[in-house]
Amino acid sequence: MMDLNVTALMHLSQAALETMKPQRSGHIVNISSVSGRGASPLSAGYSASKWAVGGFSEGLRQEARQDRIRVTVIEPGVVATELTDHITHTQTKDAYEGRIKEMEMLQAEDIAAAVVYAVTQPERVNVNELLIRPLDQG
């Protein structure tokens, strides 16, 4: 989880940054999670990785702004994805599925719209963070 959510993200973002620096423009959008704003039982590792994405994105934003490169982190709440297919710990999977069964989850299109919003702002605007939750999510 840390390798994918943090280490790979750092390497990819740094590679993108090196490509954008000579142009003195660009926009990096990282996807985190509402779990990066607070921990919950049974998801400590996931939460830790998403906290790291938020912290890395803020540091990268500060580093990249001198080159006129924008950085945004999108932090979705519950989105209708195949996430539960990858949860192997039965107690965690059951808890998550129980929490979302009555919820109208966000759709991929909702997150795509948030990305479009962030990247279509005037060049003087950097949308640092977008926290998006379903209306039903506490």
Residues designated as active site:
46
Contact between 104 and 78 under an 8 Å Cβ cutoff? The reply is: no
Contact between 11 and 57 under an 8 Å Cβ cutoff? The reply is: no
Contact between 54 and 76 under an 8 Å Cβ cutoff? The reply is: no
Q: With CA atoms as reference, report the closest residue to 84 among 74, 70, 94.
A: 94
Helices (H), the chain: 2, 9-20, 44-64, 90-100, 108-119
Q: With CA atoms as reference, report the closest residue to 41 among 98, 82, 3.
A: 98
